Chains A and B, each alone.
Chain A
Amino acid sequence: MKTHTIPMLAIATMLSMVSSAFAFGAAPAPPSNVVAVDAPDDAGEAIILSWALSPNDIFGTLESDTQATDPDLVVSVYYIERRTDSAAGNGSISEEDQGWQQISESAAGEVTTTDRKVQRGWSYSYRVCAVDIQKETSSWAATEEPVRPIMQPFNMSKAWLAIFMLMFGGLIAYFINVARSGKKLWVRPIAGLAAIDEAVGRATEMGRPVLFVTGIQDINEIQTLAGLTVLSRVAKTAAEYGAQIEVPTCRSLVMAAARETVESAYLAAGRPDSYQPDRIHYLTDEQFAFVAGVTGYMVREEPAACIYMGGFYAESLILAETGNHIGAIQVAGTAMPSQLPFFVAACDYTLIGEEFFAASAYLSDDPLQIGSLKGQDYGKFISVLILVIGICFATFASMSGSDENVWGASKNFIKDNMLGSAGLLPTGSGDTDIEGDDS
C-alpha cells in the first residue's frame, strides 16, 4: 500500500492534538474531476487517468488554503477501479471485467496514473475513491464517458528524433558515397602517427624488434580492424627501415588477418623476402594468460618500441608498465574510455578514442572509413551549432529573468521539442509529458 507515512503521521498527530472533534465512522470526501484519455503516440495500449485531489488529501490542502482537514479523514491512498464496457473485433470480455475491478492504488498526493493493461479498440470506464487512514472509503468518482484506446499512425513525440536520425544518417551516407565516388576527402594529419614512425626508427637504430599488439578483441570488433590498419603502416615502415616486427595475438582469426596485413605491407615496401610469418603468432584467448605471454616476451627480448592499437581491457596497465620498465618507446591507441588513463599516464603517445579511428581512416584510404569520419565530423558540427544557439537563448532568457519572452520560448522549443519529446511544434500551454507521474 502506498502511503506517505512519515509526514502524514506527523501532521495527523499534530492536528489531532489541536482538534478534539472526532468524526467517527465518517468517510473522506471523494476526489473529483476524474478524466480518462487515450495515451498519445502509442499503439493503443494505455489510458491516462487523472483526477483532482480529495479535499481531505493533505497534499492538496497543504498547497491550497482550504480549511484544516479532520485528522481521521486524511487520505492515505486512492483506489482505482476499471470496468470494461465493450470489446472490439471478436474479443470477449471476461465476466470479472464486466464489473468494477481494482487495477491499482495511488498514494495520497498523486493525481494521475497510467493503465497499461488495456486492449486496443475496447472501451473502458474508470472510477476513483479516496481511502483514509481508518480504511474508510469515500464515495466513487467516475469518468463521465468511456474511453477507447486507439493506435496513432506515427509517434509524434519522436518526430524530432526521426529528423535527427535522418540528418545524421544522411550526412554519413552522403560522405561515404562521395568517398566511394573517388573524391579525395581531407582529414587532418594525426600527430600520433609521426610518433609511431619515430618509434620504429629508433628500434631500427638500436637493432631491436618492434612489438605490436592489436588488443584482445576478436576480428569482428571495429577497434581490432582499426588496429590492423595501423599495423599495416607500421609493418611498411619497419620493412623499409629493415626492423623486425613481432605481433602476438589473442585470437586466432586476428592472427590470420595480421599475417595477411603484414605480408602485403612488406610486399608494398618491396621487401617480401624479409617477411617472417612466424613472428605473428596466436598465444591464447585468455586475457591474463595472453598478457603473461606478451610481458614474458617483452622482458626477454626487450623490444625498443611497443605499439598497442586496439580494444584493451584491464590488461592495458600491465602491458604499459612492463614496456615502461624495459625502457621502450610506447605508443598506444584505443577507444576504451576506462583504459585511456593508464595508457596516457604510461605511454609516450596515445591516440585518444576517435583519434584512433581517425588515424585508421587517414592511413587506410578506405572510402567507408573516411566517408564515415567526415560524416561524423559534420554531425558534430551540427551538434555544436545547436548547443551554442541553445546556450545563447538560455543565457538571454536567464538574464531577462523570465521564460515568457522570445528567448525563453526559443530555448524551450530547442530543449523540449527538438531535443525532448514534446512533439514537432510547441503546443502552447498544456502538459504533453506523458511520464508526468514521477513526482
Chain B
Amino acid sequence: MKRFVPLVIAIVAGFVLLIANFIPYAEGWGLTAQEWFNILAVGAMVLGGGNLIKLQLMKISSKKAGWGYAAVTVVCFFAAIFIGMGKFGVHPNELYPNYAWSGYYLEEGSGMWWIYQHMIVPLTSTMFAMLAFYVATAAFRAFRAKNTEATLLLVTAGIVLLGRTYAGVWLFEGWLPDWLLWLRFDNLTVWIMDVPNTAGTRAITIGIALGVVATSLRILLGVDRSYLGQD
C-alpha cells in the first residue's frame, strides 16, 4: 500500500500525459491532470516554507550555534505572511470599491510592497551581484591556461568579452583593412556564437535530451522507484 499505490499513480499520470500528445481524445485528460499538477505546485511551495520553518524552529529549540539568526528568519517569515495575507495597506480594487478584500496585495504603498521593495529586492539582488567580485578573483587566481583545452577556452572567452563591448570595435578602428573586417572581435564573436558554440551546444543538448528520456522512462516503467523512499 505504501509503495504500490504511489507507483501506480506515477505510472498512470505519466502515461496519460504521454498519450494526450498523440491521441486527441485523451487531450482533455492530460489537461485535467496538468491543472491538478499546477494547483498541487502551490502545495509544494507551502511545504518548502513549512520545512524551512520546521528546521529553523528545531535549531532554536536546541540552541544550536547561530540559533539567533534562525530566530530572525522565523520572525521575518511570519511577519511577511501576516502582512501579506492580511493585505495591510491595500486599497480595494478600483473596479469594485465596495469589496474591501479585492485589492492587489502588492499595490504601491502597501505593507507587502514595502517588504518587497526594501527588503527582498536589495537582499536578493546584492547576493547575486557579489558574483561579479568572485569572478574577478577567480580570473586572477584560478583560470590557468595549463593545457590546450584551457587555453582554447580562455582565448575564446577573451574574444567574447571584448567582442561584447565597444572595445571589440574600437581596438581595430582605423588600421584593419576591409577584407579582414571579419577579424574584428565583435564580428568574430558573432561567428563563434553562430558556428562553434551552436555546434557544441547542440551536441550537449542532444545528449541531455536522451538522458532525460532515459530517466523519465525508468520512472514510467516503474524500474526506478527511488522516489518512493526506503521502507
- Residues of chain A whose beta carbon lies under 8 Å from any beta carbon of chain B: 41-44, 151-155, 158, 161-162, 165, 168-169, 172-173, 176, 220, 222, 225, 285, 288, 314, 317-318, 320-321, 323-325, 335, 337, 341-342, 344-346, 348, 353-354, 357, 368, 372-373, 375-376, 379-380, 383
CB-CB under 8 A for A173 and B138, given A44-B24, A288-B127, A345-B153: no
Q: Which of B97-137 contact A (CB under 8 A)?
A: 127-128, 130-131, 134-135, 137
Distance between A323 CB and nearest chain B CB, rounded to angstroms: 8
- CB neighbours (8 Å) of A41 from chain B are 24
In the assembled complex, 23 residue pairs joining A and B whose CB atoms fall closer than 8 Å, in A order, are A42-B24, A43-B28, A44-B24, A152-B24, A158-B21, A165-B18, A165-B213, A168-B210, A220-B227, A222-B215, A285-B52, A288-B130, A317-B134, A321-B134, A321-B141, A324-B144, A344-B153, A346-B138, A346-B144, A353-B207, A368-B218, A375-B214, A376-B211
Residue pair A155, B142 in contact (C-beta under 8 Å): no
Residue pair A372, B25 in contact (C-beta under 8 Å): no
Indicate if B42 sits at the interface (CB-CB under 8 A): no
Q: Bound complex: CA of A176 vs CA of B219, how far in Å? A: 13
Distance between B197 CB and nearest chain A CB, rounded to angstroms: 11
CB-CB under 8 A for A154 and B23, given A288-B127, A325-B141, A353-B208: yes
Q: Bound complex: CA of A341 vs CA of B135, how far in Å? A: 12
Q: Bound complex: CA of A285 vs CA of B59, how far in Å? A: 13
Q: Bound complex: CA of A335 vs CA of B209, how far in Å? A: 12
B contact residues, range: 35 or more
Residue of A nearest to B134 (CB): A318
Residue of B nearest to A291 (CB): B134
Partner of B217, one of A152, A173, A220, A346: A173
Residue pair B210, A379 in contact (C-beta under 8 Å): yes
Residue of A nearest to B26 (CB): A43
Which 5 A-B residue pairs are closest in the complex by CB-CB distance?
A: A43-B24, A346-B142, A372-B214, A324-B142, A321-B138
Distance between B146 CB and nearest chain A CB, rounded to angstroms: 8
Partner of A154, one of B18, B22, B131: B22
Q: Bound complex: CA of A36 vs CA of B104, how far in Å? A: 44
Distance between B150 CB and nearest chain A CB, rounded to angstroms: 6
Beyond contacts A172-B213, A345-B153: 11 other A-B pairs, Cβ-Cβ < 8 A, are: A44-B24, A154-B22, A155-B21, A314-B131, A325-B141, A335-B208, A337-B204, A344-B150, A353-B208, A354-B211, A376-B210
Distance between B12 CB and nearest chain A CB, rounded to angstroms: 17
CB-CB under 8 A for A153 and B144, given A222-B215, A368-B224, A379-B213: no
- CB neighbours (8 Å) of A288 from chain B are 127, 130
Distance between B120 CB and nearest chain A CB, rounded to angstroms: 15
Cβ contacts B29-65/A at 8 Å (1 or 0 each): 0000000000000000000000010010000000000
How many pairs, one residue from A and one from B, have CB atoms within 8 Å of each other in the complex? Answer: 118
- CB neighbours (8 Å) of A176 from chain B are 218, 223
Q: Bound complex: CA of A373 vs CA of B207, how far in Å? A: 11
Q: Which of B188-231 contact A (CB under 8 A)?
A: 201, 204, 206-208, 210-211, 213-215, 217-218, 221, 223-224, 226-227
Q: Bound complex: CA of A164 vs CA of B178, how far in Å? A: 48
Distance between B29 CB and nearest chain A CB, rounded to angstroms: 11
- CB neighbours (8 Å) of A169 from chain B are 213, 217
Indicate if B154 sits at the interface (CB-CB under 8 A): yes
Partner of B214, one of A43, A44, A172, A220: A172
Residue pair B154, A345 in contact (C-beta under 8 Å): yes
Residue pair B144, A43 in contact (C-beta under 8 Å): no
Q: Bound complex: CA of A344 vs CA of B150, how far in Å? A: 7
- CB neighbours (8 Å) of B224 from chain A are 368
Residue pair B27, A341 in contact (C-beta under 8 Å): no
Distance between B172 CB and nearest chain A CB, rounded to angstroms: 26
- CB neighbours (8 Å) of B157 from chain A are 341, 345
Residue pair A372, B24 in contact (C-beta under 8 Å): no
Partner of B138, one of A162, A317, A375: A317
Residue pair A345, B150 in contact (C-beta under 8 Å): yes
- CB neighbours (8 Å) of B130 from chain A are 288
- CB neighbours (8 Å) of A353 from chain B are 204, 207-208
Residue of A nearest to B200 (CB): A337
Q: Bound complex: CA of A353 vs CA of B154, how far in Å? A: 19
CB-CB under 8 A for A346 and B210, given A151-B24, A158-B21, A220-B226: no
Indicate if B149 sits at the interface (CB-CB under 8 A): yes
Residue pair B143, A43 in contact (C-beta under 8 Å): no
- CB neighbours (8 Å) of B206 from chain A are 380, 383
Q: Bound complex: CA of A44 vs CA of B144, how far in Å? A: 61
CB-CB under 8 A for A342 and B138, given A153-B23, A155-B21, A169-B217: yes
Q: Bound complex: CA of A410 vs CA of B134, how far in Å? A: 53
- CB neighbours (8 Å) of B223 from chain A are 176, 368
Distance between B216 CB and nearest chain A CB, rounded to angstroms: 9
Distance between B35 CB and nearest chain A CB, rounded to angstroms: 16
Residue pair B25, A151 in contact (C-beta under 8 Å): yes
- CB neighbours (8 Å) of B150 from chain A are 344-345
- CB neighbours (8 Å) of A43 from chain B are 24-25, 27-28
Residue pair B153, A153 in contact (C-beta under 8 Å): no
Distance between A193 CB and nearest chain B CB, rounded to angstroms: 18
Residue of B nearest to A172 (CB): B214
CB-CB under 8 A for A155 and B23, given A172-B217, A344-B149: yes
Distance between A152 CB and nearest chain B CB, rounded to angstroms: 6
